[in-house]
Structure 1
Amino acid sequence: MTRSVPQRRTLAAAAALAVACTAGAALSTAPAPPASAASPASPAPSASAAAGTASGYATENGGTTGGEGGATVRAGTGTQIHQALCSRAGTDTPLTIEVEGTVNHGNTSKVSGDSCDTAEDKIELKRISNVTIIGVGGGAVFDQVGIHIRESRNIIIRNVTVQNVRKSGSPTSNGGDAIGMEKDVSNVWVDHTTLRASGGEDEGYDGLFDLKNNTRYVTLSYSVLRDSGRGGLVGSSESDRSNGYLTYHHNLYRNIDSRTPLLRGGEAHMYNNHYVDVHESGINSRAGARAKVDSNYFQDSRNVLGTFYTNEAGYWEVSGNVYDNLTWSTPGDKTNPAGPDPESTTSVDIPYGYQLDDARCVPDIVSRTAGAGTGLGESDGRC
């Protein structure tokens, strides 16, 4: 039997929230963005927005540039996206695909060609490289159609909504993940996306952001993951420990049962995320995983960090986080919560530069910048 231990902000932390927050200390040699009282959001992205710069672990291992330097084409259906991939000169010819409209099962079909390997029921990025998919104009919605990446490298996905992708029921999509990566995938940047479901596994939904079987050097930034049983996993089983070097920053996890994410082996860096209404467990570091959990805001949630549902321990380094109205289970068999007073159990060296926002400012910053349709806005270092 477990015992829930409530944990709330200290009075000092609550008082601090009543004043304007300032930016955290710079951890990069690059200058911090200029402070401005204006909202950091910009107008809806145009073709030039595709030239945005990757961050986090996606900048390592040769970097992630997507379709930079290649042609730009426009697509309004899943079939047109596949046609664009199949019309390239080769599987590594750089290409940016601007998407506007709703992609669904009715307008997504398999297309064949020497530079592609597509499928009927999903957007398949398989055995390719150097591609950007970006929502433009009125926005891009992938409705019950997932984006799946297999045996590919140097992929960028930005400013799109992927919703209600099922693993069972009607219609179905292979794997059921909103965005899924599997088998020898590297250097992927997913940015300013909205990933959502309308329930959990019992309703036919799986993960929102899953990485498996040697997926490495991935960054998820300024995105919203919500209304799902499963936020995402890293590794399909305790033996799938070939994944890692992952960054999650300035994301909102809201109304999620678990897996924000679940980590099996490898290293991950979570900073400046807002976790709210996580019902069962949050960052689940297990099977030797090492997580650096840096200046995040955890709110109104349960078991936001620890090792859960296994005796194969994972580890974490914590600093600068805010823990606001949390509950924690009592440690026991297959349950090792980090709280109610989280302390580091390892140290993780981060090879890239990054700019930390004060955790107290994170809910405000993320509310203004995360998700599709926010103009690709980023933190300006102010609340």
Structure 2
Amino acid sequence: MLRPLPVQRCLLALFAVSATACTTVPSFSNSQYVNPLDGANVVENSTRYSKSLECLKPLLASRAASSKRYAVGRVNDFSGKEDLTNGKRLTQGAALMVISALSKTGVPMVERFDTSIADMELKYADNKLITDNPDTKEHRRIFSGSLPGSDYHIVGGITEVNYNIKSGSIDSSIRFLGLGARYFVMDVAVDLRLVNTKTLEIVNTQSLQKQIIGTELSGGYFRLFSDGLVDINAAERTQEPIQKGVRMVIEQAVFNMLTQVNNVSASQCARLSSLNPADLPPANSAVKATTSAAPAPRQAAAPLNLDNTTSVGNTGRESVMIDPQTGEVVPLGAIPSTQLARPAPVSSEPAGQEVKQLNGLFGPPGLPSDAANANNNRAMQEKLLYGSRPELR
């Protein structure tokens, strides 16, 4: 058996000490701790369709929809896309996105997605183990009918994710300069349904999809000199977030459901989703939405001369009155008594139907009118929208 020489023993000892030193965890003092990078600020997670949902809040609040309660059930990923390294390709929180979309519209909601805490506390209360007043130790009481039920609930799932629907590229090289561009298109689809909780009738269904686009631009410079080599490459890749695309589809589906079920004409709200972010109103300003086209801006009316020198009787001032048909301030006697006694017009809309046109002050739709009548109709419409009292200027 060969024994190591003294020199070999020294080398082995030195190697063992070095290995021990390398595996020792270094210690840091408080002043040597590295500050982590904070990165970008936290912002609200909204999409271009979020403004449309917020615009629905005043419209739904004035209707019977404000008394209907909504719940959200399971909205799972049914696409089946998965890999061994990264797991699920699509978000597993689609139900949470539906809840967030509903909350932006202001409709009442009840929790049905995760009731584990409520069920546990209900069990504790049934066993008289939980209290709401730790001082008196009085147990929580259970009352019948204390939990409000839901009128409608939303269920569904993510049904499609299709990769590389279309792709293309172009590459060119001119002497020492090279340029290239590539793109690809994929899409995701969501199917949601609105169910009447009491009757289990499917009230509304939405099947929507969104295409997601990715682009890549690259360039390079390559040249070989006699004494060296120059190789410069640059590239930029941009892709819409896939999970953000799922949120967009869900928000648009919720928007369609609420407008169709509640018979809300929300063309002005739907238009907000097609505007550029720079053209959107600020977040702190109230979004005004109407069920018809936006009224024309108010024109400054000529001041009324109520101090006319022409006297009627011995008053020294011309007597005026309010036209009951138009709301205008007119001289007394300018309106025949037959028009004053004319009964109010009866609406031709059947009972229970949404009134889309007002015929009383503007006349029946479809009648020819000149420019003067059009201006007069616009002024009367503004009075109805902004208040029926005449303004004396």
| TM-score of the pair, normalised by structure 1 | 0.22
**Structure of higher RCO (CA pairs closer than 8 Å, 6+ residues apart):** 1
Structure exhibiting the larger radius of gyration computed from Cα positions: 2
